[in-house]
């Protein structure tokens, strides 16, 4: 997905890249399709599970293509790209479900200097690509430089905004080098940032930091069969049919304690009907016992499985994850009293019921999501989950707007949830009309410069477990319009200053306090109405072991998966 950056931003604050709409902000399909491209790693198998590496893990997905190019991928470190590509850092999910950033190709998560503006990494010894050639710092720099090429769009962009001297740089294919990334020797790589950034170790864990052999990957076809650095390499990749990953003979477990390297091969079967695929996994027919569904299990199959103990054991539901919220266009709804009335009028229970009930997530009251270290749970307004229409009417009367008209935009996938919100607001005196549009039109309407709406439903899952990735993309004033994700069109200089200060703060405890203050300030302004923290339910075959979901992200950890022996 391309990112059209806004031209107005704080001079010393890195402009936050527009995040991928793979989350459920448009529809469940957006996040499901990306999950089908996932593969995660902790290296921890299910306790007591007898395993073998002689079998195949099959991923059944409705996706019709899988791109493995680090320059264009938006896969999280614990997703499919993690099976094929290592990075400077990666994620490890601990036994208590917490996600930590740990070294991957590098010996440390990064050594900072100059107040957090310079980060230095040293590569481990003995690293090799799947073609047998050594992995060097130049290969990592080349991979990062490729991501700037106009030929490769849609990938994660944090590093593009944070690295110094990137203006006018369009990749290495014209012979130009990125001056802010230096390689003093074959094992050392140094990054020079345009501002202090304490969360750089998380950025260095993203797929953009996977090595690409120097001089290779000049064509888009590299996405189909990239040179691997992880435990698996591509044997074949047929769009609409299947992707087959087999062992990388040069991958070394001794340099990669995070990835377990479970099954002998991993096969993604594309273009699957989710209902049929879910039944296959639940019933163990065909290769269902050694398969997983690469997307959320359909509601009907989830309900069916819960009624049958043997099948219920094959379900895994995440804890509270992505924030689903009602964005209020602050440029249209300027009265804080009216925005507060919207918050009191909104029935979170009705919204959750329209989504599918209690299993869909816990009620939200804050902006920083579960699994993020800076999160502090609070409820500033103490609005009942059913809303408080009487209080809302009182606030509207105080604002002298007793029957305001509001326009909500939505996709057809959001129709039931939008209607639930429309109904609860009507009880408080609001006149809400819903404009339904297809996903592509909706995507543009919600993030273009015009902002022709009053309300919309959105969802947000950070790209890494940091309050920066929670708050900055959604509420920094530089992220209004231009394809960015400040959908509330919210602008508060105080919040901008807090974001700026917290972004460069190297003291974690102090940074967390600043993020918490920003969270609370935004809630005091009633920029948005938090609805729920969504939960995701997945299904795995009876012989699939090591199927774990941490507190962040709310997806299974593919790289920890194994195949149990028959009868185990």
Whether the Cβ atoms of residue 100 and residue 205 lie closer than 8 Å to each other: no
Distances (CA, A) of 357 to 211, 370, 422: 44, 19, 18
Domains, in order of start, for the chain: 36-263+539-564 (3.40.190.10), 323-534 (3.10.105.10)
Interatomic CA distance for residues 160 and 166, integer angstroms? 7
In this prediction, residue 97 carries a pLDDT of 85
**Is 0.95 surpassed by the pTM of this model?**
no
Q: Within 13 Å and on the Cβ side, how many CA atoms surround 81?
A: 28
CA 223 from centre of chain: 20
Sorted by sequence, the CB contacts under 8 Å of residue 519 that are 6+ apart come out as: 366, 367, 368, 376, 467, 471
In this prediction, residue 29 carries a pLDDT of 32
To the nearest 10°, the Cα dihedral for 129, 130, 131, 133?
20
Residues making up the chain, counted from first to last? 568
Sign of the Cα torsion 42, 46, 50, 56 reads negative
Residue 51, strand partner residues? 564
Q: Is 508 helix (H, G, I), strand (E, B) or coil?
A: helix
Q: Is 77 exposed, middle or buried (0-12, 13-18, 19+ CB in 10 A)?
A: buried
Whether the Cβ atoms of residue 498 and residue 32 lie closer than 8 Å to each other: no
Q: Is 326 helix (H, G, I), strand (E, B) or coil?
A: strand
Q: Is 339 helix (H, G, I), strand (E, B) or coil?
A: helix
Closest C-alpha to 443, from 434, 454, 456, 427: 456
**Local mean pLDDT, 10-residue blocks, the chain (568 residues):** 28 34 32 36 32 74 93 88 97 88 98 96 98 98 97 89 94 95 98 95 97 96 96 96 97 93 94 97 96 94 95 96 97 98 98 94 96 94 97 97 96 96 98 96 95 97 93 96 94 97 92 97 98 97 93 89 82
């Amino acid at each position: 997905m391309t990112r059209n950056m806004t031209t107005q931003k704080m001079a010393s604050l890195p402009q936050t890249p527009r995040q991928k709409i793979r989350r459920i902000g448009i529809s469940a399909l957006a996040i499901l399709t990306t999950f089908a491209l996932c593969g995660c790693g902790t290296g921890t198998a299910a306790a007591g599970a007898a395993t073998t590496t002689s079998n195949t893990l099959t991923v059944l997905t409705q996706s019709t293509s899988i791109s493995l190019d680090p320059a264009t991928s938006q896969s999280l470190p614990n997703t499919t790209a993690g099976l094929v590509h290592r990075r400077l850092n990666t994620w490890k999910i601990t036994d208590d479900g917490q996600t930590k950033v740990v070294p991957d190709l590098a010996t440390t998560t990064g050594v900072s200097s100059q107040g957090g503006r310079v980060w230095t990494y040293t590569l481990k010894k003995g690293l090799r690509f799947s073609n047998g050639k050594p992995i060097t710092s130049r290969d990592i720099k080349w991979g990062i430089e490729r991501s700037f090429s106009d030929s490769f769009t849609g990938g994660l962009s944090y590093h593009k905004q944070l690295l110094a001297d990137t203006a006018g740089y369009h990749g290495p294919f014209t012979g130009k080098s990125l001056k802010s990334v230096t390689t003093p020797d074959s094992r050392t790589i140094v990054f020079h940032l345009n501002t202090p950034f304490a969360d750089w170790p998380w950025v260095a864990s993203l797929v953009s930091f996977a090595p690409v052999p120097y001089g290779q990957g000049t064509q888009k076809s590299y996405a189909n069969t990239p040179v691997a650095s992880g435990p698996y390499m591509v044997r074949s990749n047929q769009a609409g049919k299947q992707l087959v990953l087999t062992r990388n003979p040069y991958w070394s477990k001794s340099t990669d304690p995070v990835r377990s390297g479970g099954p002998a091969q991993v096969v993604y079967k594309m273009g699957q009907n989710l209902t049929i695929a879910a039944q296959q996994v639940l019933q163990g027919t065909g290769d269902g016992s050694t398969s997983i569904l690469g997307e959320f299990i359909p509601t009907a199959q989830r309900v069916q499985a819960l009624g049958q103990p043997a099948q219920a054991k094959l379900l895994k539901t995440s804890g509270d994850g992505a924030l689903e919220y009602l964005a209020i266009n602050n440029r249209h709804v300027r009265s804080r009293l009216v925005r507060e009335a919207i918050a009191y009028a909104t029935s979170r229970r009705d919204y959750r019921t329209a989504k599918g009930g209690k299993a869909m997530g816990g009620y939200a009251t804050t902006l920083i999501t579960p699994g993020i270290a800076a999160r502090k749970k609070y409820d500033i307004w103490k609005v009942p989950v059913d809303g408080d229409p009487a209080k809302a009417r009182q606030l509207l009367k105080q604002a002298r707007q007793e029957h305001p008209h509001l326009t909500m935009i939505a996709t057809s996938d959001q129709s039931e949830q939008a209607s639930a919100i429309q109904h609860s607001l009507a009880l408080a005196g609001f006149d809400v009309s819903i404009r339904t549009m297809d996903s592509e039109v909706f995507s543009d309407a919600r993030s273009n410069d015009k902002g022709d709406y009053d309300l919309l439903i959105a969802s947000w899952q950070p790209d890494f477990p940091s309050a920066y990735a929670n708050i900055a993309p959604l509420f920094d004033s530089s992220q209004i319009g231009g394809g960015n994700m400040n959908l509330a069109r919210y602008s508060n200089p105080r919040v901008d200053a807090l974001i700026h200060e917290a972004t460069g703060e190297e003291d974690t405890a102090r940074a967390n306090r600043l993020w918490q203050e920003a969270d609370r300030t935004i809630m005091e302004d009633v920029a948005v109405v938090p609805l729920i923290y969504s939960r995701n339910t997945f299904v795995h075959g009876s012989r699939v072991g090591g199927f774990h979901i941490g507190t962040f992200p709310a997806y299974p950890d593919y790289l920890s998966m194994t195949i149990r022996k028959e009868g185990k």
